[in-house]
């Protein structure tokens, strides 16, 4: 299978993107965001998307771009506090929201990639997070049954990849990208550096190529700072 594509638009076309899909999108804050794939996604005009991501970007950047065009119907996230438009859409009833504790969200995605349908966790028991969910006592603690998450398409960003789809993340960018890469029926990866097969040390590969369907070399990364603090 030829995995390298020449553009984000080509990758989305090959993935069969259409209205109403569930997308898993990597990134942590503004770190490790698949910027090229998000920009191309906006240009397609697809709508009614359910998007699973740790956060919802910021106004005018990252997933915030898709909120501006009203392409997202529902977000499943753990933190959305940096996006004023998100707040406005939610309060106006224009956007559905499913909150999940950050560790629970990460584990739901990891479980989806590992083929585990659900798991028990004490996190959230006795809070609104547990409403409508099965609970039981496990090892002396009351726990909540959480469902695994899978998506139709995963969008991830790595620092380096090879043409076969092996990926290496850099620092904080690894955390949500790595599990999200495993939990999509089709995974699209963009990288800052694309190298021939054999140039990556096998011991340094974070996401093996078996999880990646298409890969492209991205460009024009902004490298934004989410919150600048000076002394």
Taking only the tens of pLDDT, the chain with its 231 residues reads 789 999 999 999 999 999 999 999 999 888 899 999 999 999 999 999 999 999 888 888 889 999 999 999 999 999 887 788 989 999 999 999 999 999 999 999 999 999 999 999 999 999 999 999 999 999 999 999 999 999 999 999 999 999 999 999 999 889 899 999 999 999 999 999 999 999 999 999 999 999 999 999 998 787 777 677 787
Cβ atoms within 10 A of the Cβ of 77, count? Answer: 22
The tokens 């800052």 sit on which residue? Answer: 192
* pLDDT for the residue 201: 96
* pLDDT for the residue 136: 97
Single pTM value for the model: 0.93
* pLDDT for the residue 71: 97
* pLDDT for the residue 207: 98
Q: Determine whether domain 8-117+149-217 maps to CATH 3.40.50.720.
A: no
* pLDDT for the residue 220: 79
Phi, psi of 18, rounded to the nearest 5 degrees: -155, 170
């Amino acid at each position: 299978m030829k995995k390298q594509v020449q553009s984000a638009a080509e990758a989305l076309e090959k993935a069969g993107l259409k209205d109403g899909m569930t997308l898993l999108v990597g990134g942590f804050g503004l770190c490790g965001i698949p910027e090229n794939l998000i920009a191309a996604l906006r240009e397609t005009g697809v709508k009614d998307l359910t998007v699973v991501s740790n956060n919802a970007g910021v106004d005018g950047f990252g997933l915030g771009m898709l909120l501006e065009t009203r392409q997202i119907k529902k977000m499943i996230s753990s933190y959305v506090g940096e996006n004023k438009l998100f707040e406005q859409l939610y309060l106006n009833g224009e956007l559905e929201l499913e909150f999940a504790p950050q560790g629970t969200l990460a584990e739901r995605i990891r479980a989806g990639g590992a083929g585990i349908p659900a798991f028990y966790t004490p996190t959230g028991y006795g809070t609104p997070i547990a409403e409508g969910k099965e609970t039981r006592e496990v090892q002396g603690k009351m726990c909540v049954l959480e469902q695994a998450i899978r998506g139709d398409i995963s969008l991830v960003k790595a620092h380096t990849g090879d043409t076969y789809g092996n990926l290496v993340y850099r620092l904080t960018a690894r955390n949500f990208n790595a599990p999200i890469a495993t939990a999509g029926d089709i995974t699209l990866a963009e990288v800052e550096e694309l190298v021939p097969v054999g140039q990556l040390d096998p011991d340094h590969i974070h996401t093996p190529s078996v999880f990646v369907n298409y890969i492209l070399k991205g460009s024009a990364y902004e490298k934004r700072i989410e919150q600048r603090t000076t002394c």
